[in-house]
Each structure stands twice: as C-alpha cells, then as structure tokens.
Structure 1
C-alpha cells in the first residue's frame, strides 16, 4: 500500500512519522525549510517528551513520487483548490483521496441524498476545482482530532490525540476504508470507520465555526472566550444556528451546545488555529470554517444573524491584515 501525505506540516507530519515508524510505504509532500530539514535529517517527532528521528521520503514535486493507493490531504482548506493540478501525478485509476481538511468538506453533498444531492459548495471549492479535478467518487472523508505543531523546520511536536475518524460519503464500510483503517491502527493511531461521519464533522465544526473567529477578533484563548459571559453567548448563538442547519440536513448531535462549549473551556489557554495564523501572517481559514456554514444556511433556508455578523467582522479583520 502506497500512501502519500500531501501537506506534511504538523498533522501530516505526525501521521507520516507514525506510518514510517510502523514500516508503511509512505511519502510526504512539503515545501520550504521544513522540507529541506526532513530531506537532510529525517522528520523529528517529539512525543511524550522523547524526540525521535524518523527517516522519511519527502519531496516538493509530486511527480517524483508516482501514483499512490491513498493520497491523504492535510492542507488548510483554502490551499487545496490551487494544488489539484499539481497532485495529478499521484492519482491513478484506483487512487483514493482522503480529505483530512477542517471545516465543511467540498464533497459534503456527494451521496448525501435528498434534494441537495450533488450540490457543490462555492465557499470551499470555488469553481468546482476539486469536484471536477479529483471526482467525488475518489473521496474518503476524515475527521482529524490530534493536535500537533511544527516547532522548527523538520521537527513536529505531538500535543495530544491520535484519532483520525474515516467515513465513506454513503456511510458504507468499504474495503478501501477498512484497509486504510488497519494500516493507521498498525501505526498506533485510532482510525474508526464511521457510518455517519457527517455527525462528527459537525461536532468538530461547532467549535471551529465559533471559537476560531471569536479568538481572532479578541485574541482570547479558549478558556477565556468560553467562560466570558459575552463571548460565550456569541459562540452559543452561532452554534445554535449551525445546529438548526445541520439537523435540517439529517445530522444528529450526541451532545448539546453547553457541553460543547464547556469542552472548549476545558482545553485551557489554547490559541486557536485561526488566531495562530493571524499572528503568524498566514492566510486564515475563514471560508471553510465560517462562510461555508453561512452558505449552508442559505441552502437550507436557515437564518444566520450571529454567524453573519461574526463572519463580516473576521473577514474584514483578515482583509485588513492581508490574510483573506
């Protein structure tokens, strides 16, 4: 089984290192100093306080790696449409594209059923680049739970978590999903195959939709924005709007809004990814995490006043910073 991880930053690097340690045939696509460091000294993984050098095959040009059985995409959502063509050398007739990207996935309405079956989402897939470039039948969904960070080029520190939930758009327990699950499990990662992956997508999205833009606007860490009465109320309002949208699409939430916000507070003084991107001068994931939910609100006829307000503010914050 040949596996390529496209976008081997923190999460992709962590997964790649674990697979390589387990003897899997894995390659990584990366760029810049991070790539150079991995090519020179291997990928260094810091886990439970111990640092290990993991030899990996890494390249910037996918053509060097050839066709793969699985291409696991761990880029930020806004980066994917622009690299669809570059990924072509990795894609063979039977290649499975695993979408390990935050936010509403571009394939959301593939094999969803109902009146929105086959609907394309402009906010996450402008011009249908992924839908037309990959083809939705190739896709296997993935909800990413680990936290990791690149602390210097070629060095990834695993913070917590090791679960990558997998799921087919139609909910089936396919051979390709089971095979990848077994390979990830052999590498010490949890990789359950879920029949209702969209439910998990929404539970994670609940937090990303609200906590990320609020933190970018206020610079507050999770423990603060989830306990301050004002920002907690804003987050709750956004999440309730999202819940109405999701439930109209058939999603079932295993927990309520209050518990989800309490879970965010329990994480502690964590700076969300959007705040980290803002501070580091990196493009912000506004479309995949917030604008996509607004788009779904329009499609389902759900009013989203709280989401609309926060989206307008964070979008302007991003534009002023030159990051959106």
Structure 2
C-alpha cells in the first residue's frame, strides 16, 4: 500500500516519517513554506534515536500524482477545520481502473475530535477513525519532532461508524512495524470520545500555557467534568480513564530531544505558528454543542472555545493569558450560566 499523508504536520509528518523508515511507500501533502522545506531538505524527523531525514515525494494536492493507485490509502491529518476543503479536493480524484477516491479508497482520519469522521462519511465509502495518542510537535517548516519511546505513539483504529475488517488490520500491521501500537477495535468512537475529554484542555494550554499549579489543574478538572456530564446526558459511551491508562501503560515515555522546540500540544502549536485558526470549535465546541442539545450548561468549555478562537483570529501569542485572568473569567461565566 502507498500512504498519502494529507497534512504532513506534527501527527501526519511523524506517521509518514515512521512509515517510510519501516519501508512503506509514502507521499506527503503540504503547503507553503512547509512544502518548500520538504522539497528542498526532505522531512526532518526528530525522535529519541536522533534526527532522521526522509526525502519523500511532497506535493500540494492530487494534481502532481495524476490518477491515484488502487492500493493507495489516504491519511487525513489536517486540522478538523480544514477537513471539508480536503475532502472536496480528494474525493473526486480518479483511481486507476475506474471510479474515484471517494468510491474506492480507504480514508483514515488521523485527527482529534469526533467530527471529521462524520464529515468524511458524507463523501467517502470507506472511512476509518483513529484515536490519536501521539505527542508530537511541528513549529518549524520541514521539521517534526516526536519524543515518545519505546513507542512513538498509540493509534487505536477502526472502521466508521463501527467495525474492523481486513483493510484496518493491514493498515494496523504497517503502523505496528513503524514504532506504533495500533489496536484494531470495533468501537472506535468510544476511544475517540475519551480522547475528546482529554483534548478539552488543549484550549487552556493554548491560551495560558501548560497547567502549572493546583488552581490550574482544578480548573481543568472542572472543564472535563462538564464534558463527562454532557456525554452522560447524551448517552455517549467512552473508554474510562482506567481503561486508557491500562492501554497506554508506560509504552510512550517522553524524553528530551536535542534541537526540538519546547511548547505544547496541537492547539498551542497553531497559535505558535500564527495559522489564524484553531480546533476549539471541534473540541470544546463539540461539548458546547452536545450540552445545548441535551440541556447541560457548559460555561467553561464555551469560554475556552471563545478565547481560543479570539487568540487565533487576533494571532495573539500562545500561552499569554495569565491563569488568574482565566479564573476570573471562568467565575463570571459560571455565574452568568446560573
């Protein structure tokens, strides 16, 4: 199989680089300065064993590839807010032997949240969801860092809306050969909703930086408690914290990397790169949506969603809001909701 990584940033670049290291055929899809750096210097992947460079085909879309191959796997690794544009770009690309990508090729949603898979199912027949547990960083064009060891990450994989199948198992086998654990599960949504609860802290980290004291951790716990209350009200099952800890164990331990940038997770990186957009509408915003549908107040998630979007729109510095100010705003938001 050939893996076409649509969005070769932190997660996509790490998976693409590791697959290439394992001898799999990989094409990277990127844009702007990142695409130029990939073309000029190759993908520079910083991992615990050192900096690895892979000179892989890098394109800005399907045009340079012509017809897609029948053994291609499309790996969607863009941020959720860019999903619709990516689906429109790739769905109608012809595949050798007849038909289109949407009709014939598997699409793997290697993304946070739960919305991308639903969007993909509107266009693609074969959609696979992934619960992404992959600490990685992309802030410099052409360079991706992943500090996990002995595994780079854990990627639960399953067909959407439910099921497994031979294709999922073949993809998982390739990932297993590439420094990942990739359990194939029939209920991928349970794992994705569990990860969604964890990702509710991404907006906090983006605007305030990592939680560094007891007050910050307490506020984050309240944010996630809102999320759990909403999922319970909506009747949405999710893997428990104990189940997640048992699955992860000590398989992904972060170590310092020479030359790797510091910072935070995916949302923090969006602000650090000044992209102008952020995923909060599909993380905290998913909880806000479900809360409104099921009558559960979600003032803290609504506040973080609004702040993250404002920071992205105004290109404000990542981590620049004092935690004390967020706490003040949180008290006001909770009081207003009641």
Q: Does structure 1 retain, via aligned residues, the 8 Å contact 2:193–2:238?
A: no
CA deviation profile, 1:96-134 (whole Å, cap 9, x unmatched): 1111111222335xxxxxxxxxxxxxxxx5xxxx454x2
Instruction: Tell me which residue corresponds to 1:103.
Output: 113
1:46 to partner: Cα distance: 2.0
TM-score (normalised: structure 1): 0.78
Q: Does structure 2 retain, via aligned residues, the 8 Å contact 1:168–1:174?
A: yes
1:15 to partner: Cα distance: 0.9
Alignment partner of 1:79 out of 72, 79, 82: 82
- For 1:272 and 1:13, how far apart are their aligned partners in 2? 15
- Is it true that 1:9 corresponds to 2:9 in the alignment? yes
CA deviation profile, 1:36-69 (whole Å, cap 9, x unmatched): 2222332222221412222311111312223253
- Say which SS state the counterpart of residue 283 (structure 2) adopts: helix
Instruction: Tell me which residue corresponds to 1:280.
Output: 273
- For 1:94 and 1:202, how far apart are their aligned partners in 2? 28
Q: Which moved more, 1:94-103 or 1:291-300?
A: 291-300
Q: Does structure 2 retain, via aligned residues, the 8 Å contact 1:74–1:99?
A: yes
Question: Which sections of structure 2, spanning at least 5 residues, go unmatched?
Answer: 95-100, 256-261, 318-338
CA deviation profile, 1:185-241 (whole Å, cap 9, x unmatched): 1223211112222222122211221x2222334x2313x1xx332x33332222122
Over the residues paired in the alignment, what is the CA RMSD in angstroms?
Answer: 2.8
TM-score (normalised: structure 2): 0.75
Alignment partner of 1:187 out of 178, 181, 184: 178
- For 2:203 and 2:46, how far apart are their aligned partners in 1? 29
Aligned length: 288
Instruction: Tell me which residue corresponds to 1:154.
Output: 142
- For 2:310 and 2:165, how far apart are their aligned partners in 1? 43
CA deviation profile, 1:3-50 (whole Å, cap 9, x unmatched): 211001121111111111222122111112322222233222222141
- For 1:322 and 1:41, how far apart are their aligned partners in 2? 30
Instruction: Tell me which residue corresponds to 1:67.
Output: 68
- Say which SS state the counterpart of residue 164 (structure 1) adopts: strand
Question: Which sections of structure 1, spanning at least 5 residues, go unmatched?
Answer: 109-124
- For 1:298 and 1:143, how far apart are their aligned partners in 2? 25
Instruction: Tell me which residue corresponds to 1:215.
Output: 205
- Say which SS state the counterpart of residue 84 (structure 1) adopts: helix
- For 1:310 and 1:302, how far apart are their aligned partners in 2? 17
- For 1:42 and 1:167, how far apart are their aligned partners in 2? 31
Within 5 Å, give how 1:127-138 maps onto structure 2. 130-132=120-122, 134-135=123-124, 137-138=125-126
- Say which SS state the counterpart of residue 221 (structure 1) adopts: coil
- Is it true that 1:93 corresponds to 2:103 in the alignment? yes
- Say which SS state the counterpart of residue 172 (structure 1) adopts: coil
Instruction: Tell me which residue corresponds to 1:171.
Output: 162
